[in-house]
Structure 1
Amino acid sequence: MYLFIEIREPVYTPMFSGKSFLMYTVKKISERVSGSKIDIQMRIKTKNPNGLLFWSGRELPLMPSNDYLALGFVNGALQFRYNLGSGEAVISYNDTRLYDGKWHSIKAQRDKQDGFLEVDKTEIVEGSSPGSYTILNTNKVLYIGGMPDVSQMTIQKFKSGFDGCISRIILAEDYDIDFINSAQSGRNIQPCSNTRG
């Protein structure tokens, strides 16, 4: 069981170190992540071109055909990835401005097999998963900012956790995640030093 490190001020905007994470099993969150549709909106800032932001998937060992959904940076590209059981979709947005240490907005949506990734309310990238499956079936656990062993648990899809700040995550257009109070567990969470964007 992972415990939060002791801090003297409330964490409204968490900062992740690359070896941090928050884990959620709350029904109000898990029901907005699985199923046939998802809508994720978040504000982030980072200077690191690698790092896992968002993950919901099977427990180990994750097999290539297992359902999962992820959002994160891989070698400078922001990737929205998912597998509904019949093949993987990788929707990639590559722009160095995303890891410039400034605040950026990200919106990732999935409607059955089709996915959309929008950055700073201007540019949209689209993609689809192959096969006929349309429902995401995971283990009802959501990780934000990383997980205990990112590389192993994602079978090398992501190499490390997120290194930076996340100021807001909204699911299904109506559920604003309370980062700390809704989390079941977490590790190495600190308050972000500058929340203005």
Structure 2
Amino acid sequence: MSFPPVSIRHRTDLRLQFQTLSPEGIVFYTAQHLSARAGDFFCVSLTSGLVQLRYNLGSGTNVLQSTNRVDTSGGTWHTVRAGRTGHQGYLVLDGLEVKQNNTEGGMSTLDVATDLFVGGVSDLSSISTFSVENEPVGFTGGVRELVLNGHDFDLTATGALGGANVGDWDGTACGYKVCQNGGRCTALSGADSDSFMCTCPPRWTGPVCNQSAYCVNNLCQHESLCFSDLVTGSYDCFCPLGWEGRYCDKQVGLSMTTLKFVGKSYLKYRDPKFNTRNLRYTQVSFNFTASRNEGLILWMGRAEHDDDDYLAVGLQAGHLKIAVNLGERLSLPLTFRNVTLCCNKWHYLSISLNSTLIQVFLGDERVLFEDVDPFERYVAMNYGGLLYLGGFELHRNISTVTSGLFTKGFVGDLKDVRLYQDPRQLHFLQNSEGFNVHKSNE
């Protein structure tokens, strides 16, 4: 089977589950070219019953191999997690981790352009000769989960781009994730062999157990989102920006100058002046008070692909953490550990990026001054006119979007946000969207 590519250039994190009837076979493969001289590649395969991860970033093949063998009778579901961050690789089979590859130096990006192949490719002679240990053979067995960098692939005929000699592994309509949230699937016999029924646990309902029982007939208004509250046995309404109240039935008005974020909330601002900005000189400032010592406060950038430029600001263990990407992720995150910024105290933060020189002021004190790229390979930050505050869209995982820079949304208050040298602070109800952002009473 083949699937469309996703961005895995700087970071690759693959998770899959499989049963096998053979000790040999290519489970997953992608490369720069479909030829024996494939260039960069990333391959997970079976070799003599062991799981191998092989990848080449342009400076030689890295190999990691499991210490435990798989069951080749087809009776055991195995879970594999394989990947790399930069040139450092890892491999985990059924919870047993191979010690991380300690390769030093060399290339750190994976440049691939082919589709993502599961189980093999149409012409086995077109894969890299270095991607497998023995002669390349296709995989014989079943795969029931494939997640790559947070993207969960639909392992069906409609979800794949193409494939050949692929059938239904268990022969019923009950796939691995047909019934969600712990629901039990029962295949229905009769003329329609594709029919099934889900028996849902008490807190879930719907044909595939994907609807909260607490949200049935909910009273949330104005396109707000209903989230079940398992503690109270009820539900909460997550209001769109500009609305408040238990059922999001009260309009905030125009005086929303201070924002309150609660962790599962975000604001996305589109800068109407983006086309006139000088991208070689970026400046942002704001006042904030945190109620938790972890969280993403601000992300200036598109946040769509690994290669997108960004300026990221947040807290880690109560300390200020800032990361900049002008291209190729050349600079490491910067952390100011001299002061703890949590909790419940207002701080003024000003950040300027002049070409590759970054300055950070906390109050009147300059706490960071560093050249993030002394060779000036990239000197402008193309943020695409987008600014995220507090987190990202609620269906997106913060750790996945930020490649592990931050894992949680911001909890606290934010005000007086200014971009560049604009004399006026941002008006949050204009050019913005968001959910679960409240008007602060400070």
TM-score range, shorter chain: 0.7 to 0.9
Q: Is 2:151 aligned against 1:175?
A: yes
Distance change >3 Å, CA 61–CA 97, structure 1 → 2: closer
Counterparts of 2:82 and 2:88, CA distance in 1: 11
Match in the other structure for 1:35: 9
Q: Whole-Å Cα distance in 2 between the matches of residues 93 and 45 of structure 1?
A: 16
Distance between the aligned counterparts of 1:146 and 1:190, measured in 2? 14
Asked if 1 retains the 8 angstrom alpha-carbon contact of 2:36 and 2:125, the reply is: no
2:48 to 75, 96, 112: 75
Q: Shift of the alpha carbon at 1:192?
A: 0.6
- Give, as a single letter, the amino acid of the residue that structure 2 aligns with 1:147: V
What CA distance in whole angstroms lies between the structure 2 residues aligned with 1:67 and 1:188? 27
Who is 2:62 aligned against?
A: 89
Q: Give 1:122's aligned residue.
A: 96
Structure-1 separation of matches of 2:119 and 2:105: 30
Deviations 1:63-112 (A, max 9, x none): 27x10000011222210010000111010114334434211111112110
Letter of the structure 2 residue corresponding to residue 83 of structure 1: N
State how far apart, in whole Å, the 2-side matches of 1:133 and 1:106 are: 25
Structure 2: stretches of 5+ with no match in the other structure: 177-442
Contact 2:33–2:114 under 8 Å retained in 1: no
Aligned partners of 2:136 and 2:25: how far apart in 1?
7
Report how far residue 130 of structure 1 moved: 6.0
Q: Deviations over 1:10-56 (max 9, x none)?
A: xxxxxxxxxxxx1122xxx422xx31101111111113110000000
Instruction: Specify the code of the residue in structure 1 equivalent to 2:119.
Output: G
Q: Any idea what the Cα deviations from partners look like across 1:140-174, whole Å, max 9, x if unmatched? A: 411111111224423272521110000101111x3
Bigger drift between 161-170 and 174-183 goes to 174-183
Residue aligned with 1:133, SS? coil
What's 2:334 paired with?
none
Unpaired runs of 5+ residues, structure 1, are 1-21
Q: Percent identity between the aligned chains?
A: 25
Q: Which structure 2 residues correspond to residues 115-154 of structure 1 after superposition, within 5 A?
A: 115-129=89-103, 131-154=105-128
Counterpart contact for 1:84–1:137, Cα < 8 Å: yes
Where 2:100 maps in the other structure, the secondary structure is strand
SS in 2 for 1:41: strand
Matched, 1:192 2:166: no
Aligned to 1:55: 29
Counterpart of 1:23? 2
Contact 2:51–2:93 (Cα < 8 Å) also in 1: no
Distance in 1 separating the partners of 2:99 and 2:72? 18
Are the structure 2 counterparts of residues 161 and 125 from structure 1 closer, same or farther at C-alpha, using a change threshold of 3 Å?
Answer: farther
Letter in 1 for 2:154: D
Q: Distance in 2 between matches of 1:40 and 1:99?
A: 22
What SS does the aligned partner of 2:83 have?
A: strand
Q: Answer 1 or 2: higher relative contact order, Cα 8 Å, separation at least 6.
A: 1
Judging changes above 3 Å, is the alpha-carbon distance between structure 1 residues 128 and 52 closer, same or farther for their aligned structure 2 residues? farther
Name the amino acid aligned to 1:50.
Answer: E
- The TM-score normalised by the length of structure 2 is 0.36
The answer to whether the 8 Å contact 1:151/1:160 transfers is: no
Counterpart code for 2:129: I
Q: Residues of 1 paired with 2:54 and 2:141: CA distance?
A: 20
Is the Cα contact below 8 Å between 2:11 and 2:83 reproduced in 1? Answer: yes
- 2:141 maps to 164
Q: Give 2:136's aligned amino acid.
A: K
Hey, what's the Cα distance between the residues in 1 that align with 2:94 and 2:59? 31
> Does the CA-based 8 Å contact 1:76-1:94 persist in structure 2?
no
Secondary structure of the residue aligned to 1:190 is: coil
Which residue type is aligned with residue 57 of structure 2?
L
**d(CA) in 2 for partners of 1:129 and 1:162?**
29
Q: Which has the larger radius of gyration?
A: 2
AA partner of residue 162 (structure 2): S
